[in-house]
Structure 1
Amino acid sequence: MSRARIRPATGAVLAALAALALGTLPAPALAVAPAAGPAPAAQRHLGEEIRQVPLVGAVNVRDVGGYRTYGGDTVRHGQVYRADALSKLTDADVVTLSRLGLKKVVDYRVPVEVQYDGVDRLPAGLTPVSRPVTDNGLFTQLLTVIGSRDPVKQEEMLGGGRAAAFMREVYRTFVTSPENRARFGATLRDIADSDRDAPLLYHCTSGKDRTGWTSYLLLRALGVPSQTAERDYLASNTYRAAYDAKVRAGLKQAGLMQNPDLLIPLQEVRTDYLRSALDRVAADYGGLHHYLGKGLGLDLRTIAKLQARLLR
């Protein structure tokens, strides 16, 4: 499809991309910006609680602390935060964010996401560190296929398990791409090297895939059991569910998709996506320990610094 033919639909198409694993959403486009209201109930398991930071302009902002390790330590609260895009925060949200005392914000979005969604809205004195992790061309492909308004093309691209297969491949590139490994490793080193009470936040667009992988790696490096780290990863489905459903409804209402449920595999996190990355870790490195060391460049001293900084 030529650029000229899809141009009239571009504004609405961009709204669709908030629903996607690596897309973006200009808030006014389909009138589905995150709405104020009660946050999803805190998730509790064996005394552990996932702490959401309730904001109007972002739905998946969470404290990574509170989890217990195999050794009986607890990950400290108020030190590391994970988030979705921060470009649509309200003034009140920025005030709430300022209370976290953040010293660094890492943005995993690729340039085209930032271009269409906007730069982060952050408290005074904070400038995000751009550390883009590739989207494997997802944004451009979806811009074209959704902009076509053609249900046959959309089914051909996303149906029959193809959307889920694409996501599994995205997760594999978290392991196979040297650039991606360098950026994940740099974020974990930032956490290890920062002062004891210098909170850091990392985010992508939906706060679930690039951000979810970082969080999983961090928790495992700290000695948190795999089941617990996976539960933190899967919690994005709870915190994003209502918002993502509004995006799908908006797409149908705008006449862009007859079957917006084709997007669900791109909106969700799934155990098999995480498993795709972990299987690649096992195949390429023999296990997570060697991936952290050889793949991300985190030596034993860095792991020890992470544990000293974040465990109590």
Structure 2
Amino acid sequence: MRGVIAIAALLAAPVGVGASAPAPVAAPAHVRVLPLQGGRNFRELGGYRTADGRMVKWGLLYRSGQMHDLTSADYAYLQKLGIRTVCDFRDTRERTTEPTLWPAGHSPKVLSDDYALDMSGMMLPGDPSTWTHEQVVSAMTATYPKLLDQFRGQYARMFAELLAGHAPLAFHCTAGKDRTGVAAALLLSALGVPRATIIADYLLSNQHMAPPPAHPTGFWAKLSPEAARGFAGVDRRYIDAVFAVIDRHPGGMAGYLKDEMGLGPKEIARLRGLYLTRG
């Protein structure tokens, strides 16, 4: 079952470090889910309140699933948003199978790594037809913290781009829920958004992912609907497992961001200066 996280969806010049904050370009009426014909869980992270009463600026930070199905009208919409940088967390096979076809001359800077996604740790013993929802949830919960190590370099690179002011920025994987969900949790934590809000944003993926196929094939056809839901959806226990690992790090979240993402007090202050507002 190679790449369960990958297939679970079945479902402007850069601003220099010394420059002022990038000007946000908000989607109409500040929509949380972008009105894209071929969008997959493409969401805006603006508008969330921080613990100190500030707010994440609209029009600068986006999370998404794969962008292979975007239409020409969708790309035109994204161009109007001014997206400059895209962090694509998908592996080599995913990007080759479902390439993002940005229009010539209008492609943002796309950052990705060549690697093979290994989700063998999520394989359960026995016939997949016998797997229960709770077994799948347990496997996913055990696997999630491993994303912190597997994608440490890509997450750190995303933060480097944000510190450099290379926004508006979008980050995504295939379903836009697992690799992307952990990235969003780290980013919103760095900006000072309360954990309850971060978890609520994470759980929104259950509402906005592509629906499962009416007639599943291959591995998915072997699973009960309940077990498939455990793989294809999100559960609070998954992201809680990530937070539990981070909370055990010396210094908790602040220590983790400093030691693993290179975000000390100076960098955190810069991030918040760039991407938060008092409005």
User: Where on the TM-score scale, by shorter chain, does this alignment land: which range?
Assistant: 0.7 to 0.9
1:221 aligns with 2:205: no
1:96 aligns with 2:96: no
Q: What residue number does 2:262 align with?
A: 297
Matches within 5 A, 1:262-273: 262-273=227-238
1:85 aligns with 2:66: yes
Residue 170 of structure 1: CA displacement? Answer: 2.6
Q: Is the 8 A contact 1:252 1:260 kept in 2?
A: no
Amino acid at match of 2:6: L
Matches within 5 A, 1:27-38: none
Determine the C-alpha separation between the residues in 2 that align with 1:105 and 1:75. 19
1:115 aligns with 2:88: no
1:67 aligns with 2:41: no
- The alignment of Structure 1 onto Structure 2 pairs a total of residues equal to 257
Q: Is the 8 A contact 1:282 1:288 kept in 2?
A: yes
Could you tell me which of 143, 154, 161 is aligned with 1:170? 143
Q: What residue number does 2:15 align with?
A: none
Determine the C-alpha separation between the residues in 2 that align with 1:113 and 1:288. 31
Q: What residue number does 2:23 align with?
A: none
Determine the C-alpha separation between the residues in 2 that align with 1:258 and 1:283. 35
Could you tell me which of 192, 199, 205 is aligned with 1:236? 205
Q: What residue number does 2:246 align with?
A: 281
Determine the C-alpha separation between the residues in 2 that align with 1:139 and 1:227. 28
Amino acid at match of 1:300: P
Amino acid at match of 2:112: S
Unaligned runs of 5+ in 2: 12-29
Residue 172 of structure 1: CA displacement? Answer: 1.0
Unaligned runs of 5+ in 1: 1-12, 26-31, 34-48, 146-151
Amino acid at match of 2:127: K
Residue 90 of structure 1: CA displacement? Answer: 1.5
RCO higher in structure (CA 8 A, sep ≥6): 2
Residue 288 of structure 1: CA displacement? Answer: 0.9
Percent of residue pairs identical: 28
CA 1:134–1:174: 2 relative to 1, 3 Å: farther
Q: What residue number does 2:26 align with?
A: none
Matches within 5 A, 1:1-40: 20-23=4-7
Q: Is the 8 A contact 1:51 1:62 kept in 2?
A: yes
Q: Is the 8 A contact 2:122 2:140 kept in 1?
A: no
Q: Is the 8 A contact 1:168 1:273 kept in 2?
A: yes
Determine the C-alpha separation between the residues in 2 that align with 1:183 and 1:302. 17
Amino acid at match of 1:191: L
Determine the C-alpha separation between the residues in 2 that align with 1:115 and 1:24. 17
CA 1:63–1:255: 2 relative to 1, 3 Å: closer
* SS of the residue 2:170 aligns to: strand
Determine the C-alpha separation between the residues in 1 that align with 2:256 and 2:247. 8
Q: What residue number does 2:173 align with?
A: 204
Determine the C-alpha separation between the residues in 1 that align with 2:33 and 2:145. 28
Amino acid at match of 1:222: L
CA 1:255–1:277: 2 relative to 1, 3 Å: closer
Higher share of residues assigned helix: 1
Residue 112 of structure 1: CA displacement? Answer: 2.1
- TM-score by length of structure 2 reads 0.81
* SS of the residue 1:218 aligns to: helix
Could you tell me which of 114, 128, 146 is aligned with 2:110? 128
Residue 60 of structure 1: CA displacement? Answer: 0.7
Q: Is the 8 A contact 1:70 1:225 kept in 2?
A: yes
Q: Is the 8 A contact 1:94 1:121 kept in 2?
A: no
Could you tell me which of 128, 134, 141 is aligned with 1:154? 128
Q: Is the 8 A contact 1:193 1:305 kept in 2?
A: no
CA 1:294–1:83: 2 relative to 1, 3 Å: same
Residue 135 of structure 1: CA displacement? Answer: 4.1
Residue 68 of structure 1: CA displacement? Answer: 1.1
Determine the C-alpha separation between the residues in 2 that align with 1:190 and 1:163. 35
CA RMSD in angstroms comes to 3.0
* SS of the residue 1:206 aligns to: coil
